Chains A and B, each alone.
Chain A
C-alpha cells in the first residue's frame, strides 16, 4: 500500500486516539455523560474500520473487542464504571503501541485487557482473531449515489421484549450506525397510566436509513428479536425523494406514492400548506402525508450531511513541508529587503512601484505561511488531562487540572518543544507542590489540589504558566540544601527571588524521598535549558503555604519577526517590534544612569554600549528605546534608530546560552549580520535596578 496513505492513516489514528483519551477522561469525571460515551465509541469504531482497511488487522481486531465492551455499556445506557474507563484507557495505550511499535505490544497485555473488558461487559469473549471490521460510515452525494440504498424500516418489538431483557432502542442505535438515519418513534399504542403494564412494550419505530450496507445487514440487527416482533424493511427509490442533489417537493413525493395527480393539483392551487389541504379538505390519509414529510426530511438530512462533509474537507500536510515553505518565505523576505535597499537610490519610479508591490506580496505571503503553522495551545494542554489523572492515581493525591487560554495560538514547532518541559513542571507540581490529602486538610485547604495551566499572548511572546495551590517553596530548606551541596557559600545572604532561582540549578532537589514521578534531581534545570534554547525565559513565583507558579515566556515563532533595526557603534541589532513601547531622542548623559523618568514611571535604563561594548566614540546624542514584556519595562540607549525591519530569525545555537540578551541573528539587506535582542531576558536582568 502507498506509504503516504499509511502515513495519513497513522496520523488520523493518533488523532482519534487522542480524542478517545479525552472522551474517556470526561467519562471518568461524569460516568453518565452520554455524549462522551458515544464519542468514545465513534472514535474506536473509526479506528477499527480504518485499521482493517489499511491492513492493521491486529489493531482492527483488538479495537473490535474494546468497542464491543463499550457498546455493551452504551447500548444498555449504563454509566461507565471507573474500571471500564481504566480498562479502555489502557486499551487505548495498547492500540497506540500496536500502531507505533507492534513488536513492543505484549500479547499477554492484550489477552488480559480482553479478559478484563469481557468480564466488565458480563460476557465471555473469545480470544482475538483478526476479523474484518465493518466499513465506516460514508456520506451519500451525487457522485456515489449508486453505492447507497435507502430503506424504510418499521419495527414493533414484541410486548414482552423488556421482560426478555431486550432494549429496543439499542437495536435502533445499532441500525443508526449502519448509515445516515432518520428515526421516528410512535407511542400511539401506549395506554393511559391506570391500564399500562410498565414492563410491556407498546412502542414502535419507523426509520429511514441511507446506507451502503446490504439489506441482510439490516435484518441482522433484529435477528434475535424477529420472533414476536413486527419488522418490515422496504427499499425506497432515491428518485422518488431526490432530483439530483435537490430534495423533491412534498407534492412530487406524494405523486410518486401514486396519490391522484388531480388531488395534488387541486391542493397546490389553494395557497395553503399542501399537506394540510390534502388531509383536511381532500380526505387523504394523514399517515400518507406524514410518511412523505418524513421521507422529505430524511432526504434533506442526507443532503445536509453531504454538504457538511464537503465543508469539513481539509488538506493534511506534513509539518516538514510547512517548514520548507517557511524557509523559502524567509529567504524571500531577505531578498526583498535587499531589493528595497537597491531600489532606494534609483530614480526609476516604475522600479520603485515593482519593489513596493514585491514587498507587499512578501509580507502577505509571510503572514499566511506563519498562520498555517499556528496551532491552539489547547492541543498541547489536552494531553495533560491524562497525565494529571495518572499522577493522581500513582501519588494517591486528589488532584484536578484546569486550563485557561487554550485558544491561544503558537507556532507548531514551539508547541512540539514545549511538551517535555511542561510535563516536568506538571509532574513537579503534583509530586512536590501539592500536599498529601491529610496535610491539606490540616492546612484547611480543599482535599483536592489544583494545578492550573494557562496561556496568554503578550506581543511576540506567549506566556504559559503552571500553577499549583500546594505548599509553596520552602526557602529555608532550599537554602540549606544549596549550602550543603556547596552551590552557595554558608554565609550567603540571598533575597527570596535569588533563593527561588536555586531550584533551577543542575541536580538540585529538596525531595526527601525519590519517587518514580520526580525527585531524582533532574527536571527543573532541564526545563530551564529547554526554555533558554527556545529563546524564552522561565520564572518562578511562590508563596509559602499557598502555592507556586512557573511562568514560561516563549517567542510566538522561531522563524520570522517584525523588527526594529537599531545601531550601536558599527553593530546592528534587531528588537522585536511587538516589544517596543516607545522611543525618544536626547543628549547622551555625561554620567551612567540606572533609571530614567518617563511621566510618573521610573524605568530601568541601560546603554547598548554598556551591554555590548564600544567599537567607536559615542555620538553626542542617543536614541532611547523603551521595551516592555509582560510587567517588565526597560529603556535601552542606542546610537541610532533605523526603523521597522522584517527579518528572518537565524538560530545561533549554543552561542545564545553565553550571549546574554541575544536570542538569534538576522541577515541584513546588505548581507551584514544583526543580533536579535532577547528583550525579555534583558528586562528581567535589569528589573531590580
Chain B
C-alpha cells in the first residue's frame, strides 16, 4: 500500500491553517483504503489549538476512509500543553487515547 509522509510547516497556526487543510485534503485524495499516512510535525516550531483541531479532523477523515495515520516528530511546540494548554483529552475524541483512530497517534 502507498505510504506517504506529510511534513507540517514551521508555522502551523491559525494564520495558515487554511492552506494546511487544503494540503491534507489533497494528500488523502492521493491515497486509498489500507494506505498509511505519516504526519511529521518535526519542522513545526509554532502551533496552536486551530492546528490541533485540524489534526483531529484529519484523523477522523482518514479513519472513515480506512487510512492509517501516524503522527510523529512531536516537540515542545506541538505538545498538547503548548497547543491546547491541556493535560489530557476527552477519551472518546479524535485526539484522545481510547478511541484514537491512529496506531501511534501519540497525544496529539
Contact = CB atoms under 8 A, between A and B. Distances in A.
B93 interface: yes
B93 A188 contact: yes
A185 B21 contact: no
B18 A187 contact: no
A193 B58 contact: yes
A14 interface: no
Contacts of A172: 84-86
A275 to B, nearest CB: 11
B67 to A, nearest CB: 11
B64 A32 contact: no
Contacts of B35: none
Interface string B62-99: 10100000000000110110111111111111111000
Given A77-B13, A77-B48, A203-B49, A186 B18 contact: no
Contacts of A290: 90-91
A188 B13 contact: no
Nearest to B27: A193
A193 B37 CA distance: 14
B56 to A, nearest CB: 4
A98 interface: no
A221 to B, nearest CB: 12
Nearest to A194: B61
B14 interface: yes
A206 B96 CA distance: 14
Contacts of A196: 21, 53-54, 57
B50 A199 contact: yes
A34 interface: yes
Nearest to A176: B85
B14 A162 contact: yes
A284 B14 CA distance: 39
Given A187-B90, A188-B93, A32 B48 contact: no
A203 B53 contact: yes
A198 B17 CA distance: 6
B65 to A, nearest CB: 9
A201 interface: yes
Given A190-B56, A193-B60, A198-B54, A169 B93 contact: no
B4 interface: no
Interface in B1-55: 13-14, 17-18, 20-21, 24-25, 28, 45-50, 52-54
B32 to A, nearest CB: 15
Interface string A166-197: 01111011001000001111111011111010
Contacts of A205: 84-86
A81 to B, nearest CB: 13
Interface residues of A, number: 37
Contacts of B54: 193, 196, 198
Given A190-B53, A193-B25, A201-B49, A34 B82 contact: yes
Contacts of A167: 48-49
B84 A188 contact: no
Contacts of A79: 45-46
A201 B61 contact: no
A203 to B, nearest CB: 6
Nearest to A171: B85
A196 B50 CA distance: 11
Contact of A169 (B48, B62, B88): B48
A184 B92 contact: no
A688 to B, nearest CB: 55
Contacts of B89: 184-187
Nearest to A188: B93
A33 interface: yes
A372 interface: no
A6 interface: no
A661 to B, nearest CB: 55
A605 interface: no
Nearest to B76: A34
Contacts of B64: 192
Nearest to B24: A193
Contacts of B21: 193, 196, 198
A78 interface: yes
Contacts of A32: 45-46, 76-77
A193 B90 contact: no
B93 A201 contact: no
A82 to B, nearest CB: 15
A78 B77 CA distance: 10
B18 to A, nearest CB: 5
A354 to B, nearest CB: 60
A169 B83 contact: yes
Contacts of A184: 86-90
A170 B46 CA distance: 14
A32 B85 CA distance: 16
Contact of B57 (A35, A169, A183, A192): A192
A462 B62 CA distance: 61
A202 interface: yes
Contacts of B49: 167-169, 201, 203
A77 B90 contact: no
Nearest to B50: A162
Contacts of B47: 77
A176 B95 CA distance: 21
A77 B82 contact: yes
A348 B80 CA distance: 74
Given A32-B46, A77-B13, A167-B49, A187 B77 contact: no
Nearest to A287: B90
B94 A183 contact: no
A191 B96 CA distance: 15
A176 to B, nearest CB: 6
A183 B52 CA distance: 15
Nearest to B60: A192
B87 A187 contact: no
Given A185-B84, A190-B56, A77 B77 contact: yes
Given A34-B76, A79-B45, A198-B17, A187 B61 contact: no
B79 to A, nearest CB: 8
A288 to B, nearest CB: 13
Contacts of A170: 85
Nearest to A32: B45
12 contacts: A34-B77, A77-B46, A79-B46, A162-B50, A167-B49, A169-B85, A184-B87, A185-B90, A185-B95, A190-B93, A193-B54, A198-B20
Interface of B: 13-14, 17-18, 20-21, 24-25, 28, 45-50, 52-54, 56-58, 60-62, 64, 76-77, 79-80, 82-96
Given A190-B53, A192-B64, A198-B50, 20 more contacts: A32-B46, A34-B76, A35-B76, A79-B46, A162-B14, A176-B85, A183-B86, A185-B90, A187-B93, A187-B96, A188-B92, A188-B94, A192-B57, A193-B28, A198-B17, A198-B18, A198-B21, A199-B14, A199-B18, A203-B52
